[in-house]
Structure 1
Amino acid sequence: MGSTTHSIHDAPFNSLADKRKVWNGPPGSREEGLGRLVLLTPEVVADAARSCIRTGHRVSLNWDLTKLEIANFNRAPTQHLIVPLLGSIAYDDVYIFNPQQSSQWDGLRHFSAPFPTPENPTQRLFYGGVTADEISNRSNTRIGIQHWASEGICGRGVLLDYAEYAKRQSINYKTLSDHAIPLSVLLEIAKEQHVTFRRGDILFVRIGFTTEWDTVMSEAEKSAYARSSNPQHAGLEGSEEMLRWIWNEGFAAVASDAVSFEVYPPKKSYPRGEGKNEVEGVFMHEYLIAGWGMPIGELFDLEELSRRCREENRWDFFVASSPLNMPGGVSSPPNCLAIF
């Protein structure tokens, strides 16, 4: 892939003419469909494999497909049918599921951003300027998940283990709250873990949601969350300095075990300590997905990954993820392995 293909992704954040409109490639092209994944060149992936695969241990990052068994936003739980064939000589599966209800990559068709005009003040567009009408048209597969499926999401993964950091620092929080993780803390974790980032890295942040859901929350608490008209999700702080860092570090994709990756609902501002001005909040989904074409992974199971990283005393690994090859698809289970 030549430098002209992804030169816009090499530009510094502050030089971007429109930080919510970094659209790459002609409409319908491979480059447009890949979005930020153009950073995962063969050279980047080969270098990641050479440096990260050492012991051969593998860890799945896919949560149980039946979770969330009680989800918000009217998302239905997975239905799994086992169907007999030939008088029960053989069996088939039938799956009916919403990828957003368990571990998933948010694809480019998942989230839009506001692009108002005098004629259409409420206009919202998806990556590349794709409209809701284009996505609703099933004969139109532009920016569908099939582009990611064609090459996979493969490269060097790096885990920033906020859940372990919070435990050491006696920071108490609920993962279904508006607890926000600022950039300063992520940088401190990276320093403690001796992590140095490379262009094309896939960033993972563990906050501990899947363990809290599986072992701490009661059925009544899960049901109350699912019924809530204003659910709260802990996650990364949504601020311009967080966006600047994600862009300038050259991450190709980001993921966590959180429900929304970033804190939800998005906040209008964030405090910066006594005597300092608050910083304005942003809705990062509008930038990362609709603006930059960046995959956002949510509800990944990072518990065994955390244990393996601590056991090997390293927080980088090779990522091999194969999204579903569904033309026009909006999102996909990650089908993701971390290889050490």
Structure 2
Amino acid sequence: MGSLHSVSQTNMQAALKSLHHTKDYDSLPDPRRVWTGAPGSREEGLGRLILLTPDVVASAAASCIKSGRRVSLSWDMTKLDIANFNRAPAQHHIVPLLGGAAYDDIYIFNPQQSSQWDGLRHFSAPLPTDSDPNRRLFYGGTTAAEIQNRSNTRIGMQHWAKEGICGRGVLLDYVRYAQRHGIEYTVFSDHAIPLSVLLDVAKEQNTTFRQGDILFVRIGVISEWEEKMSAADKLAYAQDPKPQHAGVEGTDEMLRWLWNEGFAAVAGDAISFEVYPPQASYVRGGEGAPVPGLFMHEYLLAGWGMPVGEMFDLEDLSRLCEEEQRWEFFISAAPLNMPGGVSSPPNCIAIF
């Protein structure tokens, strides 16, 4: 077994050296298409998760698991009980078995309606040609026709499920930062967090980063939805044809930082992780011309193969980080093992 593990480790390290995922952002041939591995291969299916080598995971466990305290990051599956984009609420049926001596349950749900990992089949990016100016492709060049072909499981959720998403998690708690600095906003707006502020949050928390980290950003969706919004407010949001979601800025500088820090995945409690709808530009006070905006989903998912987690419940995680006075922890997530799956509940635990 030891020799087999050694061979596997050697192969993994060799594969890493041949991939673009460890290069500097500015040296990438095309930051929009960091496609690695042969079509249908494990390497292609893992995408950015290729950074979570056994050494990276073992180091994370050794450095982060100290007190044994733990918390789930999955929001109640009935939330959002009223969702936008015409997403139906979850259904849960309890059915009798053996004449009532036992029970089963049946779940019917859209993972995008509550806490979820966006998989590589979730979002595409434009790649126009002269003959097809509207062409869009998913990670690796996967087409919509391949995704709709149920016998084709390329870049499906099963690749992530085989090993899970495990490693060192770091929380940037923007909610507490905003409270300290008197910043007021609603999460149902185009309130944007620039990179400079994320770096300031990290500085105030004394948080540093390592290659393979899983980044979490708390912006306050769960607390606002559950504690501040009435039923009428929620219905108005669900029916809004042009909803707005607060999140991190979508800019080239944000992409460069996410890439160069070596994050394997990003997640948060925001509905879109990044600001939605995408902004054409962002104004910098007294710093000259506006900074151009972009749609990061097209880069993170379709370009890099990076998992994007949304609507994670970070409320208890935030409290535990404050109590432990550290914003780093071990993450263990088990996406659903669904061949060809598009997304999955996070099934994510943070362990201190």
Normalising by structure 1, report the TM-score. 0.99
1:63 aligns with 2:75: yes
Contact 1:62 1:335 in 2 (8 A): yes
Q: Residue type of the partner of 1:149?
A: A
Contact 1:34 1:293 in 2 (8 A): yes
Deviation at 1:275, TM superposition (A): 4.5
1:110 aligns with 2:122: yes
Q: Residue type of the partner of 1:174?
A: T
| Distance (whole Å) between structure 2 residues aligned to residue 206 and residue 196 of structure 1 | 17
Counterpart of 1:77 in 2: which secondary structure?
coil
Counterpart of 1:59 in 2: which secondary structure?
strand
Counterpart of 1:9 in 2: which secondary structure?
coil
Q: Which residue of 2 aligns with 1:8?
A: 20
Contact 1:5 1:25 in 2 (8 A): no
- Please list, as runs of the form range in 1=range in 2, the aligned pairs for 1:32-71 lying within 5 A after superposition: 32-71=44-83
1:205 aligns with 2:206: no
Aligned length: 340
Q: 1:159-214: CA deviations, max 9, x gaps? A: 00000000111100000100000000000000011111000000000001001000
| Distance (whole Å) between structure 2 residues aligned to residue 16 and residue 130 of structure 1 | 21
Contact 2:83 2:89 in 1 (8 A): yes
Deviation at 1:4, TM superposition (A): 3.2
Counterpart of 1:160 in 2: which secondary structure?
strand
Deviation at 1:3, TM superposition (A): 3.4
Pick aligned residue for 1:309 from 321, 327, 331: 321
Counterpart of 2:276 in 1: which secondary structure?
coil
Q: Which residue of 1 aligns with 2:136?
A: 124
Deviation at 1:220, TM superposition (A): 0.6
Percent identity over the alignment is: 71
1:234 aligns with 2:252: no
Q: Which residue of 2 aligns with 1:259?
A: 271
Contact 1:157 1:202 in 2 (8 A): yes
Pick aligned residue for 1:243 from 236, 252, 255: 255
Contact 2:16 2:22 in 1 (8 A): no
1:336 aligns with 2:348: yes
Deviation at 1:49, TM superposition (A): 0.2
Contact 2:269 2:310 in 1 (8 A): yes
Contact 2:280 2:292 in 1 (8 A): yes
Q: Residue type of the partner of 1:186?
A: L
| Distance (whole Å) between structure 2 residues aligned to residue 185 and residue 85 of structure 1 | 55
| Distance (whole Å) between structure 2 residues aligned to residue 275 and residue 335 of structure 1 | 42
Q: Residue type of the partner of 1:290?
A: A
Counterpart of 1:81 in 2: which secondary structure?
strand
1:283 aligns with 2:301: no
| Distance (whole Å) between structure 1 residues aligned to residue 192 and residue 13 of structure 2 | 38
Contact 1:258 1:298 in 2 (8 A): yes
Normalising by structure 2, report the TM-score. 0.96
| Distance (whole Å) between structure 2 residues aligned to residue 18 and residue 90 of structure 1 | 56
RMSD between aligned residues: 0.7
Q: Which residue of 2 aligns with 1:17?
A: 29
Deviation at 1:273, TM superposition (A): 1.3
Contact 2:38 2:44 in 1 (8 A): yes
| Distance (whole Å) between structure 2 residues aligned to residue 274 and residue 307 of structure 1 | 36
| Distance (whole Å) between structure 2 residues aligned to residue 33 and residue 12 of structure 1 | 22
Q: 1:11-66: CA deviations, max 9, x gaps? A: 11011111110001000000000000000000000000000000000100000000
**Structure 2: tracts of 5 or more residues without a match:** 1-11
- Please list, as runs of the form range in 1=range in 2, the aligned pairs for 1:42-191 lying within 5 A after superposition: 42-191=54-203
Contact 2:169 2:215 in 1 (8 A): yes
**Structure 1: tracts of 5 or more residues without a match:** none
| Distance (whole Å) between structure 2 residues aligned to residue 93 and residue 276 of structure 1 | 58
Deviation at 1:2, TM superposition (A): 2.1
Contact 2:172 2:217 in 1 (8 A): yes
Contact 1:65 1:78 in 2 (8 A): yes
| Distance (whole Å) between structure 1 residues aligned to residue 13 and residue 319 of structure 2 | 39
The 3 A distance-change label for structure 1 pair 168 and 27 is same
Deviation at 1:266, TM superposition (A): 0.3
Contact 2:65 2:351 in 1 (8 A): yes
Q: Residue type of the partner of 2:263?
A: F
